[in-house]
């Protein structure tokens, strides 16, 4: 069979990296200008692959809007190939839902430009998440192309059967659910056809080597040559270079190709000899260095911001706006996409990984803030609208009430302590007379908190003072006011995807809700599930009352030197480690009442101020971090670490907030949880998957760092017990197999340079300042893995509350206003979606993209089939199977009780469309 060489012109376009976004954009404009000119003037020009992401065209047209018609013509004719992504994301540091939005927006924009790319493209992702074949196949992709995570062996070498090995550069890649997609590995990288010579003598030398390199790993007669590299300019004489190659090798067909043509030809030769790799691709059979896991801890503040931004959209704004639409409010589709785009503009691998110059990372802060501001506004407006639909007039009793509604937009029913400021009184005449004094004159009544059935609820009710506020009516000028406020703190109980109503009312003079607590043993936190005892050194032990298992010496801190960079952690040559083990801590119980106990622990760690001076010369010389020799400075500086432990009345886990005041450079801070569990594997949350990983790496692993990446949690369990550590934006962890199978979670990492291909100083990556990091420690019994997962996901967001009877205050004439009851049509408590299924996690509740239906997505995180059951709610007219791009499939039927039952195979991602 004749060999065909597919030459694909491209430029891997990192939107921002070693230069700022705008500086890179100036080069992008030159690139696209040249592509358009070449496409117009050279009929032999086969086209240009614009890196699989549509945002490059958006960035270009923002500066050259007059070129849109020409760009769209080139896309329609195949001279520019774009999509299916909006941006090229990192797969481990962005959520599964962010991946789907990225795909949806990219495909939508590519279609508007004229044509959608047919391959999932991951040229430089730092490893690949295991569920990508399932996601991409649901989206209709023909293949997936990637650059890292698999070790190519070559047909003349023995395949050892490793999960991450492939005989050829072409293979099948299977998700954990069994979905397969043809995979193409850049075994010779994505620049293996760069800068093709036109001179015949040079071309002969060039092609002899390039063809041999490609054939070494090729499984078919279709050889892929990528004519480009990072920010590569267009090779303007590429058509002439191809003519020269054809002349030199008449028995080989050289074509200026594209991925659609290449994949179609390659698939004709797919055979049973192709290797199948399964699950995540993280280079486990290699030396472990090139999937760059330590990017998970660079610029930790940005990682925390990212998790908060994803949570604000997919766990709050989207479900709240969807619920509000069910009740008649218009869905803010354009605003939602705007917020998602701003967030996703921080998701390219070099951006979210924190491996760029300081200018890039500083600009990311602004994008995170913009996205979050929009998401929060959507959530607040949706919840206000929803709250006004609740029939608080149906609350029991006849006395004056101050009603409010607590909202839970997660897929898990929650009991959680919340604190909510409520308005007792508003004065809208503050510019006519002193509204502050009028509010101040209102007496603070003795109040009691009750649930919707009139039952008293233990609460702490405090005078919250007076503050300025304002309404922004839809049809009149802003309405400022002064408000008299009360702060109520209590444990709320709210169903999944729903709400519960509570109210304050005047109590009898001798009625006191808050139960006094005994502060005698200020180092013990206890509820019906757990008993936590704080040790002298600030570590703690947790007794799981269900199993009787005690986990000891949890939560000590470890500080080590780091002579690496934003990509790579390398401990100092002396391996100096400082911990809080045995270090006396200041311990105080700061709150103990009927619904929670809070203990504060303070350490002052003395740590080296940085690395020794010898490291700077090695940085400037671009010495490989793995070969550097340097020790930590002898100068010490204080690092204050404050730990706040909170155990709530019904809590199944211990909430921990660690605040680090960092003055040191070139170091890493971790919290360590010795599990003491007897197992060789552990579990980690990833994109649409809880993946099982070995506690120890393979023998081929030579990376001195064994860190891995997580999303919401990491967990370990043996035959009787388990321990899960959930987090909010702490993406890096390591299992210390030789230290009681401890789970070590990185809290902060400080470095001074970007790394990679040169010396790029990044002084702000030292992360000098104060950071608060949050996590939760959850003991559980073996056999309750699914429940533990649910707790880890539920930790990602808090309950919120909205007061009723005030949002319509602007309808009255300005004056003194008290809260009112509302005669809405919604009951006092409700769930918009009730479902059951062991280990099944709800990931999305949203309106469709340019569709009127709502879409609900679940993933089965268990390694076996599980049954998903959910009730047909009153607002559901029809439910059908769908996919990640929201196409309509089979219509479902309920049982005689109005319940849908659907079997989800292991690790299946299942989307359902709902006609309202």
Query: Which CATH number do you get for residue 838?
Result: 2.60.40.2220
Query: Quick one: 120 and 195 in the same domain?
Result: yes
Q: What is the predicted pLDDT for the residue at 516?
A: 53
Q: Buried (b) or exposed (e) across 235-262, using 16+ Cβ within 10 A?
A: beebbebbebbeebbeebebbbbbbbbb
Q: What are phi and psi of 665, to 5 degrees?
A: -115, 165
Q: Give the 3-state DSSP-derived string for 618-664, with helices as H, strands as E and coil as C.
A: HHHCCCCHHHCCCCECCCEEEEEEEEEEEEECCCCCEEEEEEEEECC
**CA 466/CA 463 separation, integer angstroms:** 9
pLDDT band at 810 (very low <50, low <70, confident <90, very high): very low
519 domain residue, yes or no: no
Q: What is the predicted pLDDT for the residue at 807?
A: 62
CATH of the domain at 465: 2.60.40.2210
Query: Quick one: 784 and 815 in the same domain?
Result: no
Q: What is the predicted pLDDT for the residue at 153?
A: 65
> Which residue, of 343, 368, 387, is where some domain finishes?
387
Q: Are 565 and 751 a contacting pair, CB within 8 Å?
A: yes
pLDDT digit string, tens, across residues 864-881: 999 999 999 999 999 999
pLDDT digit string, tens, across residues 70-89: 999 999 999 999 999 999 99
761 domain residue, yes or no: yes
Of 566, 747, 528, 814, the C-alpha closest to 666 is 566
392 domain residue, yes or no: no
Q: What are phi and psi of 264, to 5 degrees?
A: -60, -45
Q: What is the predicted pLDDT for the residue at 510?
A: 60
pLDDT reading at 512 higher than 60: no
**Which position among 14, 51, 59, 124 bears the catalytic label?**
124
Query: Quick one: 229 and 336 in the same domain?
Result: no
Query: Quick one: 819 and 845 in the same domain?
Result: no
pLDDT digit string, tens, across residues 574-601: 999 999 999 999 999 999 999 999 999 9
Query: Quick one: 506 and 562 in the same domain?
Result: no
Q: What is the predicted pLDDT for the residue at 240?
A: 98
pLDDT digit string, tens, across residues 301-312: 999 999 999 999
pLDDT reading at 689 higher than 90: yes
Q: What is the predicted pLDDT for the residue at 53?
A: 98
Q: What is the predicted pLDDT for the residue at 886?
A: 98
> Which residue, of 336, 352, 387, is where some domain finishes?
387
pLDDT reading at 241 higher than 80: yes
Q: What is the predicted pLDDT for the residue at 518?
A: 57
pLDDT digit string, tens, across residues 358-399: 999 999 999 999 999 999 999 999 999 999 999 999 999 877
Token pair 């949690």: residue: 713
pLDDT reading at 157 higher than 80: no
Q: How many separate domains does the chain show?
A: 5
Q: Are 452 and 500 a contacting pair, CB within 8 Å?
A: yes
Q: What is the predicted pLDDT for the residue at 271?
A: 75
**CA 330/CA 353 separation, integer angstroms:** 36
Query: Quick one: 441 and 368 in the same domain?
Result: no
pLDDT reading at 733 higher than 70: yes
Q: What is the predicted pLDDT for the residue at 513?
A: 56
289 domain residue, yes or no: no
pLDDT reading at 488 higher than 60: yes
**Residues paired with residue 637 on neighbouring β-strands, in sequence order:** 607
Q: What is the DSSP string of 236-256?
A: TTHHHHHHHHHHH-TTSEEEE
Interval 624-633 mean pLDDT = 96
**CA 673/CA 550 separation, integer angstroms:** 13
> Which residue, of 387, 415, 439, is where some domain finishes?
387
Of 277-286, 417-426, 697-706, least confident by mean pLDDT is: 277-286
Whether omega for the bond prior to residue 767 falls within 30 degrees of 0, making it cis, is no
Query: Quick one: 589 and 603 in the same domain?
Result: yes
Query: Quick one: 677 and 552 in the same domain?
Result: yes
CATH of the domain at 173: 3.20.110.10
Query: Quick one: 572 and 472 in the same domain?
Result: no
**Residues paired with residue 422 on neighbouring β-strands, in sequence order:** 486
CATH of the domain at 639: 2.70.98.30
Residue 58 annotated among the catalytic residues of the structure: no
Query: Quick one: 614 and 636 in the same domain?
Result: yes
291 domain residue, yes or no: no
858 domain residue, yes or no: yes
Query: Quick one: 768 and 706 in the same domain?
Result: yes
Query: Quick one: 810 and 765 in the same domain?
Result: no
**CA 441/CA 597 separation, integer angstroms:** 34
Interval 269-296 mean pLDDT = 87
449 domain residue, yes or no: yes
292 domain residue, yes or no: no
| DSSP tag of 279 | S
Q: Which residue range(s) make up the domain with 727?
A: 524-794
By CB atoms closer than 10 A (0-12, 13-18, 19+), residue 98 is: buried
Q: What is the predicted pLDDT for the residue at 275?
A: 86
**CA 857/CA 629 separation, integer angstroms:** 50
**Rounded to whole angstroms, what are the CA distances from 641 to 316, 401, 747, 771?**
31, 43, 11, 10
Q: What is the mean pLDDT of the chain?
A: 94
**CA 482/CA 431 separation, integer angstroms:** 10
Q: What is the predicted pLDDT for the residue at 727?
A: 98
Interval 789-798 mean pLDDT = 97
């Amino acid at each position: 069979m004749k060999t065909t060489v597919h030459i694909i012109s491209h430029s891997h376009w990192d939107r921002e990296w070693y230069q700022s976004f705008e500086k890179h954009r100036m080069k992008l404009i030159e690139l696209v200008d040249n592509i358009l000119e070449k496409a117009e003037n050279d009929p032999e020009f086969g086209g240009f692959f614009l890196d699989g992401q549509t945002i490059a065209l958006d960035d270009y047209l923002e500066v050259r809007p007059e070129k849109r018609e020409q760009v769209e013509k080139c896309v329609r004719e195949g001279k520019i190939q774009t999509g299916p992504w909006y941006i090229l994301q990192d797969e481990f540091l962005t959520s599964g839902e962010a991946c789907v939005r990225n795909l949806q927006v990219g495909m939508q924009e590519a279609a508007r430009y004229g044509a959608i790319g047919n391959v999932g493209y991951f040229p430089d992702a730092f490893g690949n998440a295991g569920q990508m074949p399932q996601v991409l196949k649901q989206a209709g992709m023909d293949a997936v192309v990637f650059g890292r995570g698999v070790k190519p062996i070559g047909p003349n070498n023995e395949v050892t059967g490793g999960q991450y090995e492939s005989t050829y550069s072409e293979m099948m890649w299977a998700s954990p659910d069994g979905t397969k997609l043809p995979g193409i590995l850049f075994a010779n990288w994505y620049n293996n056809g760069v800068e093709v010579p036109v001179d015949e003598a040079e071309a002969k030398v060039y092609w002899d080597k390039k063809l041999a390199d490609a054939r070494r790993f090729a499984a078919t007669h279709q050889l892929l040559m990528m004519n480009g590299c990072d920010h590569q300019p267009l090779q303007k004489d590429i058509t002439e270079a191809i003519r020269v190659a054809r002349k030199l090798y008449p028995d080989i067909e050289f074509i200026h190709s594209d991925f659609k043509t290449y994949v179609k030809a390659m698939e004709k030769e797919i055979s049973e000899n192709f290797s199948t790799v399964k699950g995540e691709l993280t280079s486990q059979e290699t030396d472990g260095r090139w999937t760059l896991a330590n990017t998970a801890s660079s610029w930790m503040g940005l990682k925390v911001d990212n998790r908060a931004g994803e949570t604000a959209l997919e766990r709050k704004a989207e479900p709240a706006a969807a619920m509000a639409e069910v009740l008649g409010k218009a869905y803010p589709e354009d605003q939602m996409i705007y917020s998602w785009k701003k967030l996703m503009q921080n998701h390219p691998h070099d951006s979210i990984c924190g491996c760029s110059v300081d200018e890039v990372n500083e600009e990311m802060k602004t994008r995170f803030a913009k996205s979050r501001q929009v998401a929060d506004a959507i959530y607040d407006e949706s919840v206000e609208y929803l709250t006004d639909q609740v029939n608080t007039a149906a609350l029991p009793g006849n006395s004056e009430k101050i009603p409010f509604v607590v909202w839970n937009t997660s897929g898990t029913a929650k009991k959680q302590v919340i604190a909510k400021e409520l308005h007792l009184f508003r004065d809208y005449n503050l510019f006519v007379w002193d509204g502050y004094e009028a509010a101040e004159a209102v007496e603070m009544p003795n109040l009691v908190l009750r649930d919707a059935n009139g039952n008293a609820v233990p609460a702490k009710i405090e005078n919250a003072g007076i503050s300025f506020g304002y309404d922004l009516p839809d049809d009149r000028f802003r309405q400022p006011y002064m408000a008299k406020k009360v702060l109520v703190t209590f444990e709320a109980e709210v169903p999944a995807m729903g709400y519960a109503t509570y109210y304050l009312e005047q109590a009898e003079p001798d009625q006191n809700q808050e139960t006094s607590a005994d502060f005698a043993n200020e180092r013990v936190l206890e509820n019906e599930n757990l008993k936590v005892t704080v040790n002298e050194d600030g570590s703690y032990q947790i007794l799981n009352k269900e199993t009787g298992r005690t986990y000891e010496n949890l939560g000590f801190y470890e500080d080590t030197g780091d002579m690496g960079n934003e990509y790579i952690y390398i401990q100092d040559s002396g391996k100096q480690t400082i911990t809080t083990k045995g270090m006396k801590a200041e311990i105080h119980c700061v709150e103990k009442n009927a619904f929670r106990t809070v203990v504060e622990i303070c350490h002052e760690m003395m740590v080296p101020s940085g690395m020794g001076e010898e490291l700077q010369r090695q940085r400037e010389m671009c010495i490989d971090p793995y070969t550097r020799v340097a020790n930590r400075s002898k100068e010490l500086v204080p690092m204050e670490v404050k730990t706040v432990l909170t155990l709530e009345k019904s809590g199944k886990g211990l909430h921990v907030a660690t605040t680090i005041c960092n003055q040191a450079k070139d170091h890493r801070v971790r919290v360590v949880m010795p599990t003491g569990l007897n197992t060789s594997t552990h579990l980690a949350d990833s994109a649409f998957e809880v993946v099982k990983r070995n506690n120890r790496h393979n023998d081929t692993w030579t990376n001195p760092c064994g860190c891995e990446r997580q999303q919401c949690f990491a967990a370990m369990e043996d035959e009787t017990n388990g321990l899960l550590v959930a987090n909010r934006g702490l993406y890096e962890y390591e299992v210390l197999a030789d230290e009681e199978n401890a789970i070590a979670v990185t809290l902060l990492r400080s470095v001074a340079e970007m790394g990679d291909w040169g010396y790029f100083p990044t002084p702000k990556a030292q992360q000098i300042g104060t950071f608060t990091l949050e996590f939760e420690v959850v003991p559980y019994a073996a056999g309750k893995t699914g429940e533990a997962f649910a707790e880890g996901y539920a930790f990602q967001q808090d309950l919120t509350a909205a007061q009723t009877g005030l949002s319509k205050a602007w309808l009255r004439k300005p004056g003194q206003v008290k809260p009112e009851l509302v005669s809405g049509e919604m009951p006092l408590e409700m769930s918009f979606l009730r479902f059951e299924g062991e280990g099944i996690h709800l990931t999305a509740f949203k309106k469709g993209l340019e569709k009127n239906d709502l879409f609900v997505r679940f993933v089965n995180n268990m390694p076996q089939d599980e049954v998903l059951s959910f009730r047909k709610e009153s607002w559901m007219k029809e439910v059908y199977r769908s996919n990640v791009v929201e196409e309509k499939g089979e219509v479902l039927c309920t049982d005689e009780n109005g319940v849908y039952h659907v079997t989800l195979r292991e690790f299946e991602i299942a989307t359902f469309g709902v006609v309202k």
